[in-house]
Amino acid sequence: MIKKFVSKSVKPFKAVQWDGANKSDVIDFVGSKNVILVDDEHKLIILQSFKKKLVAEVGDFIIFKLTPFGRFVAVVSKDDFMFTFTEAN
């Protein structure tokens, strides 16, 4: 069954864009225990969210927040992120 969803909140959130060279920014943002691997060419970064591993490619945005259920990490492509979100003041 296909269902319709709406956002529960329009609260601002923080995100960092993976550019292949900002590993330290990503670690500062999500915590070192959530960064599993950066490939040798610095094109991919593998992150841990709950029990899943996520792969971010150069240009992707990484969203991180703590929830009552644990840490939430999401990876969103640059195109989807720019289409969906605008920068908060």
pLDDT at 9: 61
Per-residue tens of pLDDT for the chain, all 89 residues? 656 766 556 677 889 999 999 999 999 999 898 899 999 999 999 998 878 899 999 999 998 887 787 778 899 999 998 888 888 76
Structural domain total, the chain: 1
What is the pTM (predicted TM-score) of this model?
Answer: 0.82
Structure tokens, 83: 């289409």
Look at residue 42 and tell me if it is in a domain.
yes
Look at residue 64 and tell me if it is in a domain.
yes
For residues 27 and 68, what is the distance between their CA atoms, to the nearest angstrom? 21
pLDDT at 16: 94
Look at residue 49 and tell me if it is in a domain.
yes
pLDDT at 86: 81
Look at residue 62 and tell me if it is in a domain.
yes
What is the number of other CB atoms lying within 10 angstroms of the CB of residue 58? Answer: 15
Look at residue 7 and tell me if it is in a domain.
no
Look at residue 89 and tell me if it is in a domain.
no
For residues 47 and 54, what is the distance between their CA atoms, to the nearest angstrom? 5
